[in-house]
Amino acid sequence: MILFLLPQQMCVSRCLRCVGISLVPMAIVCMVSNILLLFPDLKIHFLLEGHVTREATWAPGVWASGILVLFGARAFVRSSKTQGCCAFRSEMLRQVMYSCMCVVAAGSCCLVSFTGLVQGPLCLYNTTAGPTWGVPLKPTPDHDAGYLYNSTLWSGVCLQPRNVVEWNVVLFSLLGGASGLQAILCAANIFNSLLGLVLGKGFCHNKVSPVSVST
């Protein structure tokens, strides 16, 4: 009879809880960033007049990386309290679905944020026909998204809203970064939940199990 130190179960519950708790502040950052994007220069009349960047009006930070991810985070935390082997495995199957939902939601928010960042803001700018509302920094075959690396364009192109380029760059960067991190955590949580489905509930410690070796 030989004793081997064998890991009996994985720390699935603790990982689920940590991911769920970590998602909450990121969801709040996404929601606040998207709401602020709707009010450039902290004025409501731009939104009421339809002069807000298109990607901001889609509000992915509110409904996708915000509400949907918070819904998933709540499920992750609650699942860590599930008792019983069969009940736990059934819960893990649900967590795989919740995690997939959160990956899609956060990933779509990250994609929209990146698009909004590259396209540049909707603003009032000078043209040959006079001041016009449009997206003057939008990439074209002759004009890429180099404005992100040329801060002289940030205050020299858009007339209104005031400092809208800086506003969009900072907030879309926060929104994209937070939602991208959410997507990574939720993708890792799919793997974690699959482990829980296969191996059962974990207790974060190893057990010494006797193993018979026949010769």
Q: What is the 3-state secondary structure (H, E, C) of 154-177?
A: HHHCEEECCCHHHHHHHHHHHHHH
Whole-number percent of the chain with pLDDT over 90: 63
Burial of 25 (0-12, 13-18, 19+ CB in 10 A): exposed
Q: How many domains does the chain have?
A: 1
- In this prediction, residue 1 has a pLDDT band, given cuts at 50, 70 and 90, of very low
- Residue-range definition of the domain harbouring residue 24: 2-211
Partnered with residue 3 across adjacent β-strands are 210
On average, the pLDDT of the chain sits at: 85
Mean pLDDT value across residues 64-90: 82
- The CA-based angle 134-140-144, given to 5 degrees, is 105
Q: What is the pLDDT of residues 154-208, one digit of tens each?
A: 888 999 999 999 999 999 999 999 999 999 999 999 998 888 788 765 444 444 4
pLDDT category of residue 8 using cuts at 50, 70 and 90: very low
**How high is the pLDDT of residue 210?**
46
Residue 106 near residue 72, CB atoms below 8 Å: no
Per-residue pLDDT tens digits for 192-202? 888 878 876 54
Q: Quote the pLDDT of residue 15.
A: 84
Band of residue 80 on the pLDDT scale cut at 50, 70, 90 = low
State the burial class of residue 206 (Cβ atoms within 10 Å of its Cβ: 0-12, 13-18, 19+).
Answer: exposed
How far apart are the C-alpha atoms of 181 and 176, rounded to whole Å? 9
List CB contacts of 64: < 8 A, sequence separation 6 or more: 105, 106, 108, 109, 179
Say whether pLDDT at 132 is over 90.
yes
Judge contact between 125 and 134, C-beta under 8 A. Answer: yes
pLDDT score for 145: 61
pLDDT over 70 at 64, yes or no: yes
